[in-house]
Each structure stands twice: as structure tokens, then as C-alpha cells.
């Protein structure tokens, strides 16, 4: 393609609202433009990258035995009511009415639509198993769309759904998809990790996420430094450690109430009392969707994992209670709450078990207890794993490892759904004995447009994007220093033709711009191979080949250039 005929609106300045590098570079390099919050135009270069990703995904999904189809973006409310998610799903589900006042939504994911399709098309066990996928725009009215393509409201997803007669076969397909995802992300040239994950709003009982490792990632993940355990921190189990308080040799003398005027947070009280935060027990009051107030206790240096607490309570939703309800339910203000004498159901984290010489609120203003001995002074309703895993925790799987933390961008997720949707919506088949049984299901998503951002987060430098060869909008950029010069133009046009005839994807910068501008734009846009044609080189019959990634340059004879470039590309795409 010719640069002068392609819409590549590069900018000199970073956009003011962009926080992460992929967002800045995608806007500055002329790939995307925001239309409304979290909704973008994809310019031609971006669409080419998206098509590359889609192609890799298609090839690998087809190879894995899945079939492509296309379902509608809008869905009637009735299907979502059948699954129970019309009520369950929050405001992310964009609901609207058609002209006849019928309720609809824009699909954030397609379990309902595909389950309906299958229950109307499948009768017998002989028609199973199969795996259906589509690549399509999704809409989620995210509360905080941000980071450009990383968290949009409208975004492109590959979603796949598989259908089976039994659990075992469904697990086989789950593993097949895990292997397929590994191949896809490897071909995209990304450094990633599969991690154990929570199942969130999709449901089901087993799940893995594929996380591209990047500092800007919104997810925290932990991995063992010894075995291959890795999990999203939301999901990461924490093994019961030796009770922290037992490290303190002294017998706790009597419980003592001390004055802590105006000191509320653990950090403030710790500093005031000159005691380490690990000696504290934090008491947090949550309200469940059924209206119950429950106290959760964790050590001062730990954080509650809401998902674990929700699961322990068997609640659908939990939220920290506001000050007024805490005061009404617990009889004291947040900041001075403690388990001693508290008249609420209390769930304590495993590490609170047996703590001695601990500090807690005293359930009255401006006062705390010190020398608290858990076993002597209070008994929670239950102990459970409630906290977020932290770096340095012992691995929950192996005996010798410890956990390390990383940041990740979730680019894909696979779920073992079981019969959640098939039972709710009556998707059944007849087995060999003619008995009606619910279909076992799995589902498998990849964020195609988020992958564009993730690839840039991992592949850029101070000057711009560095596309992996497999995702690049073009493989080669031809950069004639002065396209008006007859000799240069003729050489550039000839090479442009020849490369195209050899199946190379090439962009020719035919603009009448200063060389400095062209070089800057070339680095910004990030095409992996740059071929520079200048008067001096051409006099010697040479052109310059430059790798965007490591800036290595090489002078090569014009006569060898097509062969040489093809060799570089073949090697890069095989790597
Ligand atoms: P997140 O936890 O990041 O909100 P999710 O777990 O809700 O994502 P899934 O339902 O698993 O997302 O969707 C499948 C894939 O779609 C995700 O792995 C992710 O790559 C992509 N995706 C989800 N939400 C968005 C979004 N708002 N913008 C871009 N891509 C998204
Ligand atoms: Mg997910």
C-alpha cells in the first residue's frame, strides 16, 4: 500500500487522557480514535493487525476441530431471563427496548444465545460433541472503560462454546482449548502465563485465564517459584500458616484497653502505639445481598479477598457496610471495631487463629485493646481462608516453593461450565438408552482487540511500537529518502512491485516529507523491517535494511534485496 493513500493520522503529542503506553502509541501512531468512552474507530493499520490476530485464532481454532458461525449482537430479554442473568448481571449489560417496547440487550457474552441455538438443533448423543466459535463485537457497559483497547465498552472477542454428553469429554475439550490458546498466544509473539481463575459472572466451576505479563496489567497474579502453580490473586489459595501470634513467646498478660484518640486506620494506630501492623486484627463489616451484617477479621498487614468471603458466606453479593449501618449493627464506628464483645457473625482468616499479644478495636470511640489472645478472648463463628495471597506466601501446591507476584493483562479465559446453562434453559440430548440428559458445556474467550494493546505493552521502546512479525500491519516499510528524486523513485517502485509479487506485505512511504519526519513516523508505527533507499547507497547499488526491534542495519545489494528480505521474514515467522 502507498502511505500517501492510506489514512495514518500520526500525532506529535501523546493524547492527554492516555495513561498506558499502548493507548498513547495506538492514538499517536494513527491506529485508533475514540468515538465515545471505551468505543473506538479502528483505522486501516489497526484493522490489519486485528485481521492478523483473527487469522491466527481461526487457523488454530479450526485446527482444534471447532466450527465458526455467527450469532447476533442483540438478544431478546427472554433468553437472559431463562438463564437468570437478566436479573444477576449488573449495569454492564446494556438493556434497551425495541419499537414494540420489548426488552433487549447487547451481548456481553453469548451463553444464552448459543444454548438456545443448540437446544433447538440437537436431539441425540450421536450429534455431540462439537465446539462453535465466532469472532464478533461485544458490548459491556464497563464502569471504568480505560487504557484504550485494553478495557473498552465495545470490543472484539472470539467466543467459543463446546457441548458434550459427559464431564470427561468436556474436560478433554477444555484441555484441547488450553493447548490451542497456548499455540495462539505463542504465535502472536507474546510472553504469557495460564493461571487458575475465578469464574465471575460467567459461572461454572473451573477456569483458567491467559495473562500477558506486563507492568501495566490490571490483574495481579501469583506464581510459585518452584512448581508450576500460578493463579489470579482473586483465586489464589492461602495455606494455613503457623499462627502468627505464637511467634510471640511471652504469655499474653491481661487484656488491656488503651486510649487511641482519633487514630483509626491500622497504620495510624500502629504508629501511635509503636507496634508492628502484623500484630493487629482488622475487623471489617460487610453487608450481604440478603441484608445480613457480617464481620470479617484479618491480620493488620493482610487484605480481605472479597470473592473468598462471598463464597464462605454463600452470598451472591457483599459490600463493605457504610459508617451509619456499621454503627447501628455493631455499636461502634469503623476504625474502633474489634471482635471482643461484638454481637455479629464473625468469620476470621486462618492467620488470625491463635494470635497473641494482638491489637484490636475496643468497640468504643478512641480506644483499642492490646494484649489480645484470640483463644482466650474471643471465638469467631468460623475460621476460613479469607485473605489475598501476597508475595512470600508458601505455595499452596508444593512443599518448598514460595509465591511471587506479577501484573498481567487477561487476554483469554476458558471455563468449564458444566450444566449451569443447559439445565436452566433445557438444553438436553437423548442418550443411547433414550434417556434425556442435560448437555455438558465449556466456554472459551479471547479478547482480540485487547490483544492489540497487550502486544504493544510488551513490544515498544521510547520511539514507538515494535510489532511482532506475526501481528504487524505490514512486514516491510519502504522508505525512499526523497521520493521526488527520479532514480530513488524508480528503485523504490520497482522493489515495491517485486516484493508484492513475492507475497510480502509492504507499505511504501511515498510522501513528500522531510526524511526526519519519515524516520520518526516509521519508528512510531513499528513495522518490523525498514528498507531505506537513498542516493548514496543506490550509487553503489545498495539499500539499507533495518530491524525495528534491535536497530541493526545492514547494507545489501539491490539485486539481492527480494531474496534477502524474504529470507529474513521466513526466519522471523518461523521463530
Ligand atoms: P475482565 O476481568 O478483564 O473484565 P472478563 O473476565 O470479564 O474480563 P471474559 O468474560 O473472560 O472477560 O471475556 C473474554 C475475554 O474478553 C477476556 O479474557 C478479555 O481478553 C476480553 N475482554 C473482556 N472485557 C473486555 C473489555 N472491556 N475490553 C476489551 N476486552 C475485554
Ligand atoms: Mg475473564
| pLDDT tens-digit series, residues 533-565 | 999 999 999 999 999 999 999 999 999 999 999
Which ligand 1 atom is at minimum distance from the Cα of 108? 10
Instruction: Output the CA 209–ligand 2 centroid distance in Å.
Output: 6
Q: Is 187 in the pocket of ligand 1 (CB under 6 A)?
A: no
Position 233 pLDDT exceeds 80: yes
How confident is the model over 44-71, as a mean pLDDT? 98
State how far the Cα of 493 lies from the Cα of 480, in Å rounded to an integer: 10
Name the more confident of 205 and 207: 207
Average pLDDT of the chain to the nearest whole number: 94
What atom of ligand 1 comes closest to residue 446's alpha carbon? Answer: 15
Evaluate: CB of 415 within 6 angstroms of ligand 1. no
**Using 50, 70 and 90 to split pLDDT, how confident is the model at 249?**
low
The percent of residues in the chain predicted with pLDDT above 90, rounded, is 92
The mean pLDDT value for 364-374 works out to 94
Average pLDDT score over residue span 341-352: 94
| pLDDT confidence band for 246 (50 / 70 / 90) | low
Number of Cβ within a 10 Å radius of residue 179? 12
CA distances from 287 to 136, 223, 284, 309, 551 (A): 38, 32, 10, 11, 57
| pLDDT for the residue numbered 251 | 65
pLDDT over 90 at 472, yes or no: yes
Q: Is the confidence at residue 389, as pLDDT, over 60?
A: yes
From 32, 155, 220, 410, give the residue whose CB has the most ligand 1 atoms within 8 Å, as the site to mutate: 410
Give the pLDDT confidence score for residue 253 in this predicted structure: 79
Instruction: Check if 161 has its Cβ closer than 6 Å to any atom of ligand 1.
Output: no
Percent of the chain surpassing pLDDT 70: 98
Lowest-confidence segment of 55-59, 86-90, 180-184 by average pLDDT = 86-90
pLDDT on residue 202: 72
Written as nine digits, the cell of 34 is 475514540
**CA of 20: how far to CAs of 25, 262, 453, 567, in Å?**
9, 39, 9, 35
**Is 38 a pocket residue for ligand 1 (Cβ < 6 Å)?**
no
Q: What is the pLDDT of residue 252?
A: 67
Pocket test for ligand 1, best of 445, 446, 452, 456 (most atoms within 8 A of CB): 445
- Give yes or no for a contact between 205 and 418, defined as CB atoms under 8 angstroms apart: yes
Q: How confident is the model at residue 248 (pLDDT cuts 50, 70, 90)?
A: low
| pLDDT surpassing 70 at residue 62 | yes
pLDDT category at 189 given cuts 50, 70, 90 is very high
Locate cell 489514512: which residue?
7
- Ligand 2 centre to CA of 482 (Å) is 49
CA 411 to centroid of ligand 1, rounded, Å: 7
Ligand 1: residue of 37, 156, 413 to mutate (most ligand atoms within 8 A of CB) is 413
The per-residue pLDDT for 433 is: 97
Q: Which of 39, 31, 22 is nearest to 156 (CA)?
A: 39
Rounded Cα gap, residues 281 and 304, in angstroms: 12
Coil, strand or helix: which one is 203? coil
Q: Of the ligands numbered here, which is closest to the C-alpha atom of 40?
A: 1
Q: With 90 as the cut, is the pLDDT of residue 330 above it?
A: no
Pick the closest to residue 207 from 442, 454, 396, 423 (CA basis).
442
Residue 106 grid coordinates: 447487547
| Residues 77, 89 contacting (CB under 8 angstroms) | no
284 alpha carbon to ligand 1 midpoint, in Å? Answer: 30
Under 8 Å between Cβ of 93 and 87? no
Nearest residue CA, atom 23 of ligand 1? Answer: 447
Report the atom number in ligand 1 closest to the C-alpha of 218: 3
574 confidence band (pLDDT: 50, 70, 90): confident
Whether the bond between 129 and the residue before it is cis, its omega within 30 degrees of 0, is yes
Instruction: Report how far apart, in Å, the C-alpha atoms of 66 and of each of 2, 131, 132 are.
Output: 37, 5, 6
Are 542 and 555 a contacting pair, CB within 8 Å?
A: yes
- For residue 150, the CA-to-ligand 1 centroid distance in Å is 9
- 234 in contact with ligand 1, CB cutoff 6 A: no
The label of the residue with cell 487511641 reads 260
Ligand nearest to the CA of 410: 1
What is the rounded distance in angstroms from the CA atom of residue 568 to the CA atom of residue 315? 57
Q: Nearest residue CA, atom 24 of ligand 1?
A: 151
* Shortest-distance Cα residue to atom 27 of ligand 1: 151
CB-ligand 1 contact for 194 (6 Å cutoff): no
Q: What is the pTM for the complete model shown?
A: 0.90
User: Which ligand is nearest the CA of 53, by number?
Assistant: 1
- CB distance 411 to ligand 1 below 6 Å: yes
CB-ligand 1 contact for 142 (6 Å cutoff): yes
pLDDT at 241: 63
Q: Taking 90 as the threshold, does the pLDDT of residue 336 lie above it?
A: yes
Give the pLDDT mean for 216-235.
95
CA 153 to each of CA 142, 271, 442, 450: distance values in angstroms, whole numbers, following the listed order: 6, 43, 25, 11
Strands 293-299 and 345-349: parallel
pLDDT band at 71 (very low <50, low <70, confident <90, very high): very high
The response to whether residue 109 sits with its C-beta less than 6 Å from ligand 1 reads yes
Maximal CA-CA distance, the chain? 95
> CB under 8 Å to 39, separation ≥6 — which residues?
152, 153, 154
One-character DSSP codes across 82-125 = HHTHHHHS-TTS-EEE-TT--EEEE-SS-HHHHHHHHHHH--BG
Q: State the distance from the centre of ligand 1 to the C-alpha of 116, rounded, in angstroms.
A: 23
- Closest ligand 1 atom to residue 210 Cα is 18
Amino acid at each position: 500500500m502507498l502511505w500517501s493513500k492510506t489514512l495514518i493520522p500520526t500525532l506529535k503529542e501523546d493524547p492527554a487522557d492516555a495513561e498506558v503506553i499502548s493507548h498513547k502509541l495506538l492514538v499517536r501512531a494513527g491506529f485508533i480514535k475514540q468515538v465515545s468512552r471505551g468505543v473506538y474507530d479502528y483505522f486501516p493499520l489497526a484493522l490489519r493487525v486485528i485481521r492478523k490476530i483473527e487469522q491466527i485464532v481461526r487457523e488454530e481454532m479450526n485446527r482444534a476441530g471447532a466450527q465458526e458461525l455467527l450469532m447476533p449482537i442483540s438478544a431478546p430479554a427472554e433468553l437472559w431471563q431463562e438463564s437468570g442473568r437478566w436479573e444477576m448481571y449488573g449495569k454492564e449489560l446494556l438493556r434497551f427496548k425495541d419499537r414494540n417496547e420489548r426488552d433487549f440487550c447487547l451481548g456481553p457474552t453469548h451463553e444464552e444465545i448459543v444454548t438456545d441455538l443448540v437446544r433447538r438443533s440437537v436431539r441425540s448423543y450421536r450429534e455431540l460433541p462439537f465446539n462453535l466459535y465466532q469472532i464478533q463485537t461485544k458490548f459491556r457497559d464497563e464502569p471504568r472503560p480505560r487504557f484504550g483497547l485494553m478495557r473498552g465498552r465495545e470490543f472484539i472477542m472470539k467466543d467459543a462454546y463446546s457441548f458434550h454428553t459427559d464431564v470427561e469429554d468436556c474436560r478433554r475439550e477444555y484441555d484441547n482449548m488450553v493447548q490451542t490458546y497456548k499455540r495462539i498466544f505463542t504465535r502472536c509473539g507474546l510472553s504469557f502465563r495460564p493461571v487458575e481463575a475465578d469464574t465471575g459472572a460467567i459461572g461454572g466451576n473451573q477456569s483458567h485465564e491467559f495473562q500477558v505479563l506486563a507492568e501495566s496489567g490490571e490483574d495481579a497474579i501469583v506464581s510459585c517459584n518452584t512448581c508450576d502453580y500460578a493463579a489470579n490473586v482473586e483465586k489464589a489459595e492461602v495455606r494455613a500458616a503457623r499462627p502468627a501470634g505464637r511467634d510471640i513467646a511471652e504469655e499474653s498478660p491481661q487484656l488491656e484497653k488503651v486510649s487511641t484518640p482519633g487514630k483509626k486506620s491500622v497504620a495510624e494506630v500502629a504508629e501511635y502505639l509503636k507496634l508492628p501492623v502484623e500484630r493487629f486484627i482488622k475487623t471489617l463489616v460487610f453487608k450481604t445481598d440478603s441484608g445480613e451484617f457480617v464481620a470479617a477479621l484479618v491480620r493488620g498487614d493482610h487484605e480481605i479477598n472479597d470473592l473468598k468471603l462471598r463464597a464462605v458466606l454463600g452470598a451472591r453479593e457483599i459490600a463493605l457496610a457504610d459508617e451509619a449501618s456499621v454503627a447501628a449493627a455493631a455499636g461502634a464506628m469503623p476504625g474502633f471495631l474489634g471482635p471482643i464483645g461484638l454481637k455479629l457473625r464473625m468469620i476470621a482468616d486462618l492467620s488470625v487463629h491463635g494470635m497473641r499479644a494482638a491489637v484490636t478495636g475496643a468497640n468504643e470511640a478512641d480506644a483499642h485493646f492490646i494484649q489480645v489472645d484470640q483463644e482466650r478472648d474471643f471465638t469467631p463463628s468460623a475460621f476460613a481462608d479469607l485473605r489475598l495471597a501476597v508475595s512470600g506466601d508458601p505455595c499452596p501446591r508444593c512443599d518448598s516453593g514460595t509465591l511471587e507476584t506479577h501484573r498481567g493483562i487477561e487476554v483469554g479465559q476458558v471455563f468449564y461450565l458444566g450444566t449451569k446453562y443447559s439445565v436452566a434453559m433445557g438444553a438436553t440430548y437423548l442418550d443411547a438408552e433414550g434417556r434425556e440428559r442435560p448437555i455438558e458445556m465449556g466456554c472459551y474467550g479471547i479478547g482480540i482487540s485487547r490483544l492489540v494493546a497487550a502486544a504493544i505493552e510488551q513490544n515498544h521502546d521510547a520511539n514507538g511500537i515494535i510489532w511482532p512479525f506475526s501481528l504487524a500491519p505490514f512486514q516491510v516499510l519502504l522508505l525512499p529518502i526523497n521520493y521526488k528524486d527520479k532514480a530513488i523513485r524508480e528503485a523504490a517502485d520497482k522493489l515495491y512491485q517485486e516484493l508484492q509479487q513475492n507475497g510480502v506485505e509492504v507499505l511504501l512511504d511515498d510522501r513528500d516529507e522531510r526524511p526526519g519526519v519519515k524516520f520518526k513516523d516509521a519508528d512510531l508505527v513499528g513495522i518490523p523491517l525498514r528498507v531505506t533507499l537513498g542516493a548514496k547507497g543506490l550509487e553503489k547499488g545498495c539499500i539499507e535494511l533495518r530491524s525495528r526491534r534491535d536497530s541493526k542495519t545492514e547494507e545489501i545489494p539491490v539485486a539481492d534485496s527480494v531474496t534477502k528480505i524474504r529470507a529474513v521474514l521466513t526466519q522471523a515467522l518461523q521463530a
